Amino acid sequence: MATLRVILGDQLSPALPTLSQVAEDDWILMAEVQTEAHYCPHHKHKIIVIFSAMRHFAESLRGLGYQLRYIRFDEQVRSLTDAVALALTEIPGLQHILLTEPGEYRVGQEIAGWAGRFNLPVTSLEDSRFLISRAQFSGWAAGKRQLRMEYFYREMRKHTGLLMQDGQPAGGQWNFDSSNRKALPAELTIPAPLSFEPDLVTQEVQALVARHFPTNMGDASQFRLAVSGKQARQAFLHFLTQQLPLFGDYQDAMRIDQPFLFHSVCSIYLNCGLLDARWMCSKVVLAWQQGLVPLNAAEGFIRQIIGWREYVRGLYWLQMPGYKTLNSLNAATALPEFYWHGQTKMRCMQQAIEHTKRYAYSHHIQRLMITGNFALLAGLDVQQVCNWYLAVYADAYEWVELPNTLGMALFADNGILASKPYAASGKYIARMSNYCKHCHYDVNDTTGDNACPFNALYWDFLARNQSQLQTSARLQFSYKNWDMKTDADKQRIRNKAQQLLIQLEQL
């Protein structure tokens, strides 16, 4: 039965189930389509990395002898469905459509209509690039009153055998997070991640994106990301020797004008299929076994990949479609414009947004404790914040963006993902970065004219959500501090917060 094998833009892996047992009369279809490029205002670098990596991947498949129809953006095909329709009219004799399950619910809904529309059988294969299936995650979650990443992660360590010795965690501990909160010493040299000069394929895509998406965030000419599996593996191996040894120690640190620090910048490649999670973990374990990286770094990194990444994916599929509509703290303030242009006097926000604009990247603590924390404290509209995160990061696909934003950063799921809101005042930011030393605002002040906005907004967040949050054991200390303040002080702080919320655009 001649089969049309559809490969989506985030499925660029040679080991993709779609590519197993391809018959001589089968065809592969890949398509750059309008709906996927326009469903949110993607950063220019996100579109460039996906289109260029798709074109490189298609070339490698042609090199292996596969018959492949590649629909380019200039052909103006509207949707993935229209791309399949076009392929079926162009190529006679196709009797079956096959693909690997899509990462996003939205795309899954579209594909669900294909069997009826084309009157052909459609086979959707499990995505074996993840370490556990959606069904296995549901099995783990079944009957649990609360889902917590730490317990899931321990199961994943046992399941994969990674960093396990005689059935016990290497080093006698599951988690070395407590040694991963160091502040950066001023004199520490920070190595840069590997970047790549655009080749002719990428240059063509850069020009296309500059032409068709002129108002989207970013500068197409600044694009320097990897666009093939080979380059992505080079970038990862560079990280392994240069940054990974200190990844654990400075995982939560931030420094002015340092967008990458000791992070891998690999989510971009991992999420579109250029890197393989099992391969990355095996390299990390090997580096630890050879004494090249300490255990806290190896464990910290592996936890992100087999723990957080798999956990948010499982949770997304378990909770969708309802998850996307949650807004448990009734956050509804409009997203300030500075999230898009980055012009704000708050140095921490200016840095996180500036890095985002320039690289379609910022590291986890900037996403969570700067832009995410501000959105949480100011009660910014959940949908608008989620749309922003989905648009501006090159690694953003809804399955991973939504639980991180709606659940982890905004606590809009009322604790399905995390045990407490990640709310913090300026004090935390001053401890973990040197931003405050370069800021217009005074991090030690809460109510004065020049007071750090995070301070009053932090207390106001706790006060306005007290009835919902005060029972959380992990917020007892914060509420005790709030309750110890005099009524006059409380009123002053809340007035200041109201003033800040009114002047949000001017901060």
Residue ranges binding ligand DLZ (CB under 6 A): 8-10, 31-33, 36-37, 42, 47, 50, 102-104, 107, 397
Nearest to 52 by CA among 254, 263, 228: 228
Q: What is the signed CA dihedral for 426, 432, 436, 441, rounded to 10 degrees?
A: -10
Choose the contact partner of 347 out of ligand FAD, ligand SF4, ligand DLZ, none; CB within 5 to 8 A by kind: ligand SF4
Choose the contact partner of 309 out of ligand FAD, ligand DLZ, ligand SF4, none; CB within 5 to 8 A by kind: ligand FAD
Integer Cα distance of 380 and 361 in angstroms? 21
Question: Pairing state of beta strands 164-165 and 168-169?
Answer: antiparallel
Integer Cα distance of 28 and 3 in angstroms? 8
Q: Examine residue 414 and tell whether it contacts ligand FAD (CB under 6 A).
A: no
Smallest distance from the beta carbon of 8 to ligand DLZ, in angstroms? 4
**Residues 11, 258, 271, 351: which binds ligand FAD (CB under 6 A)?**
271
Instruction: Say how many C-beta atoms besides its own lie within 10 A of residue 135's C-beta.
Output: 11
Q: Examine residue 346 and tell whether it contacts ligand SF4 (CB under 6 A).
A: yes
Of 100-108, 252-260, 296-304, 431-439: span binding ligand SF4 (CB under 6 A): 431-439
Of 63-71, 78-86, 260-268, 424-432: span binding ligand FAD (CB under 6 A): 260-268
Q: Examine residue 452 and tell whether it contacts ligand SF4 (CB under 6 A).
A: yes
Residues in the chain: 507
Q: What is the signed CA dihedral for 102, 107, 109, 115, rounded to 10 degrees?
A: -70
Nearest to 246 by CA among 293, 308, 314, 312: 293
Of 62-70, 216-224, 330-338, 343-351: span binding ligand SF4 (CB under 6 A): 343-351
Residues 6+ apart with CB under 8 A from 355: 259, 361, 362, 366
Q: Examine residue 458 and tell whether it contacts ligand SF4 (CB under 6 A).
A: no
Integer Cα distance of 240 and 258 in angstroms? 19
Smallest distance from the beta carbon of 44 to ligand DLZ, in angstroms? 11
User: In this structure, which long-range contacts are made by residues 487-494, counting pairs with CB atoms below 8 Å and at least 24 apart in sequence?
Assistant: 490/459, 490/463, 492/447, 493/446, 493/447, 493/456, 493/459, 493/460, 493/463, 494/456, 494/459, 494/460, 494/463
Integer Cα distance of 364 and 252 in angstroms? 8
Range 116-155, binding ligand SF4 (CB under 6 A)? none
**Residues 140, 176, 250, 389: which binds ligand FAD (CB under 6 A)?**
389
Integer Cα distance of 492 and 456 in angstroms? 9
Nearer to ligand DLZ, 250 or 397 (CB): 397
Choose the contact partner of 452 out of ligand DLZ, ligand FAD, ligand SF4, none; CB within 5 to 8 A by kind: ligand SF4
Smallest distance from the beta carbon of 259 to ligand DLZ, in angstroms? 22
Q: Examine residue 367 and tell whether it contacts ligand SF4 (CB under 6 A).
A: no
Choose the contact partner of 367 out of ligand SF4, ligand DLZ, ligand FAD, none; CB within 5 to 8 A by kind: ligand FAD
Smallest distance from the beta carbon of 200 to ligand FAD, in angstroms? 27
Nearer to ligand SF4, 211 or 437 (CB): 437
Q: Examine residue 443 and tell whether it contacts ligand SF4 (CB under 6 A).
A: yes
Beta bridge partners of 99: 6, 124
Integer Cα distance of 312 and 274 in angstroms? 20
- Sheet with 3-6, edge to edge strand ranges: 68-71, 27-31, 3-6, 96-100, 122-125
Of 193-201, 204-212, 411-419, 435-443: span binding ligand SF4 (CB under 6 A): 435-443
Determine phi and psi for 5, rounding to 5 degrees.
-105, 110
Q: Examine residue 351 and tell whether it contacts ligand FAD (CB under 6 A).
A: no
Site string for ligand FAD, 51-90 (x = CB under 6 A): ----------------------------------------
Integer Cα distance of 413 and 294 in angstroms? 36
Number of residue whose CB is nearest ligand DLZ: 9
Q: Which residues bind ligand FAD (CB under 6 A)?
A: 263-267, 270-271, 301, 304-305, 308-309, 312, 363-364, 367-368, 372, 389, 393, 395-396, 400-401, 404-405, 408-409
Q: Which residues bind ligand SF4 (CB under 6 A)?
A: 346-348, 426, 429-430, 435-436, 439, 441, 443, 452-454
